[in-house]
Amino acid sequence: MTVRQPDSALSADAARPSRREQILRAAAQLFAERGSRAVGVDDVGAAVGVTGPAIYRHFASKDAMLAEMLEGISQRLLAGARERVAAAGLDPAAQLRALVTFQVDFALDNPALITVQDRDLGSLPTDDAAAVRRLQRRYVEVWVDVLARLRPEEGTDASRARAHAVFGLVNSTPHSAGRLPREQMAALLAAMAEAAATA
Amino acid sequence: MTVRQPDSALSADAARPSRREQILRAAAQLFAERGSRAVGVDDVGAAVGVTGPAIYRHFASKDAMLAEMLEGISQRLLAGARERVAAAGLDPAAQLRALVTFQVDFALDNPALITVQDRDLGSLPTDDAAAVRRLQRRYVEVWVDVLARLRPEEGTDASRARAHAVFGLVNSTPHSAGRLPREQMAALLAAMAEAAATA
DNA sequence: CACCGATGTTAACGACGGTTCACATCGCGG
DNA sequence: CCGCGATGTGAACCGTCGTTAACATCGGTG
């Protein structure tokens, strides 16, 4: 009954690269491929060389696993975005470039997480879903602030729609997987995203 | 045991607006909100004022229902795209504009279908999934042809990635639902999509 | 060495959900 | 009016799956 919760859900937990992290990674992969509801606890276990119920030594429930996964993604995105903006100085154009390259890199590095994030948020207990949505909203706001300063004549509603559209564009990566070398793909997506953001 | 199959899966079936169509529409809405695996046959039935098992008078199975829905979407998209391109003359730029406005209109008119299409394709029997993917591929090729003629120096792989990115951009509609009046949203998305496609 | 916490295993439970069955109802063509 | 096909209902069936229980193993610590 001793389910260890991470000291802080955000810590990448470099100290213990084992099992728990292993499970989360394998689960993310499987969830991305088939959808969280279609993969059983046994599947996740098998993916790390363990039987199904063993999962419960590391997570309170399947939902808790998904919750931690989605919260982790949202937290990494929010923290990363703020960091990049802060490091980009005061020019909104430079900040936008920083945000775009950050999002592109994240999407190319974590296609599975990107897929799961916007497909399986719905199959989460309401409370956890709300928490994730709060984080997502704050991430969007980072973008909205930059976009709004870049085009002050536009309302924030338009800026928000613009932000979502850019996310959709960049997060299309999992659909056009691997046909282009990563460098080229990154450059293409960044150029398109910037053009769309400033059109 | 008499499950009527539509004369042709593509016909919008204007002759019989009832039940079958009604069920498909309600199911699409529910699937979009919660994910196809999370909604039960009873839910779909209740949405049209009927008990669960009644569904089986109109569809062979829940999977068959989802299959028909997804195939319908893909067929409408493919047919519409070809039509618009043909009507746009020979100028690739004009053809692209036609494709963009078509996709934007479709996405704004059918947010539920857009959502279901790229979330629940995975929870389809392999055969049906393959059929849908074939249609989708052909739709993408329509775009790739136009994009490739518009920028001949780019490889078709890049054009394909470009097409997927534009889809992602336009299909972001369900995420930024209703905050902008439709006209304004359509204009914004079209401008962004065109800028991204030609960046 | 003995104990204990961490980690697994197998077996069983219980709920949910898709599907089928046997039975009503109802409208329409002969 | 009779009967049949279409449509719907409630009850029951059954597989899947998340979860729990009872029991093993094993490495480290007092």
pLDDT tens for residues A67-97? Answer: 999 999 999 999 999 999 999 999 999 999 9
Provide the pLDDT for residue A2: 41
Mean pLDDT confidence for A1-27: 62
Q: Do B62 and B27 form a contact (C-beta atoms < 8 A)?
A: no
pLDDT tens, residue by residue, A161-177: 999 999 999 999 999 98
Distance from C-alpha of A196 to C-alpha of A184, rounded to nearest angstrom: 18
Q: Is the pLDDT of residue B139 over 50?
A: yes
CB atoms within 10 A of CB A19: 14
Task: Name the band, by pLDDT with cuts 50, 70 and 90, for residue A18.
Answer: confident
Domain layout of chain B by residue ranges: 62-197
**CB B100 under 7 Å to nucleic chain C:** no
Provide the pLDDT for residue B193: 99
**Chain-chain contact of A38 with B123 (C-beta, under 8 angstroms):** yes
How many Å apart are B124 CA and D29 C1'? 54
Mean pLDDT confidence for B137-156: 97
- Chain C: positions less than 7 Å from a protein CB are 5-12, 16-21
Mean pLDDT confidence for B64-93: 98
**B38 closest-nt by C1' vs CA:** C17
Q: Is the pLDDT of residue A125 over 50?
A: yes
Provide the pLDDT for residue B90: 97
Q: What is the DSSP letter of B40?
A: -
Q: Which CATH number fits domain B62-197: 1.20.1070.10, 1.10.357.10, 3.40.50.300, 3.60.10.10?
A: 1.10.357.10
Mean pLDDT confidence for B90-116: 98
- What are the tokens at B40? 């039960």
- Of A18 and B71, the one with more pLDDT: B71
Distance from C-alpha of A87 to C-alpha of B99, rounded to nearest angstrom: 39
For residue B179, what is the nearest residue in chain A, using CA coordinates?
A: A157
CB atoms within 10 A of CB A121: 18
pLDDT tens, residue by residue, B20-38: 999 999 999 999 999 999 9
Residue type, A140: V
- How does DSSP assign A77-90, residue by residue? HHHHHHHHHHHT-S
* A158 interaction partners in chain B (CB closer than 8 Å): 180, 184, 188
CA distance B134 to chain A (A): 14
Residues with CB under 7 A from strand D: A 37-42, 52-53, 56, 61-63; B 2, 4, 19, 45, 50-51, 53-54, 57-58
**CB A151 under 7 Å to nucleic chain C:** no
Q: What is the DSSP letter of B4?
A: P
A15-24, A72-81, B123-132: least confident range = A15-24
Distance from C-alpha of A150 to C-alpha of A83, rounded to nearest angstrom: 19
> What beta strand segments (E) does chain B contain?
none
CA distance B35 to chain A (A): 7
**Chain-chain contact of B180 with A196 (C-beta, under 8 angstroms):** no
Distance from C-alpha of B86 to C-alpha of A121, rounded to nearest angstrom: 40
> Side-chain half-sphere of B150: how many Cα atoms within 13 Å?
24
Tell me, which fold does domain A14-59 have in CATH? Arc Repressor Mutant, subunit A (1.10.10)
**Chain-chain contact of B176 with A193 (C-beta, under 8 angstroms):** no
* B38 interaction partners in chain A (CB closer than 8 Å): 37, 122-123
**CB B39 under 7 Å to nucleic chain C:** yes
Q: Is the pLDDT of residue B11 over 90?
A: no
**Chain-chain contact of A122 with B33 (C-beta, under 8 angstroms):** yes
Helical H runs in A17-91?
20-34, 41-47, 62-87
Q: Which of A165, A179, A188 sits opposite B192 (nearest CB)?
A: A165
Task: Name the band, by pLDDT with cuts 50, 70 and 90, for residue B17.
Answer: low
Provide the pLDDT for residue B178: 86
How many Å apart are B4 CA and D1 C1'? 30
Residue type, A40: G
- What are the tokens at B95? 């053809």
Give which of A160, A175, A180, A184 to mutate to test B binding, by max B Cβ within 10 Å.
Answer: A175
Sign of CA dihedral A126, A129, A131, A133: negative
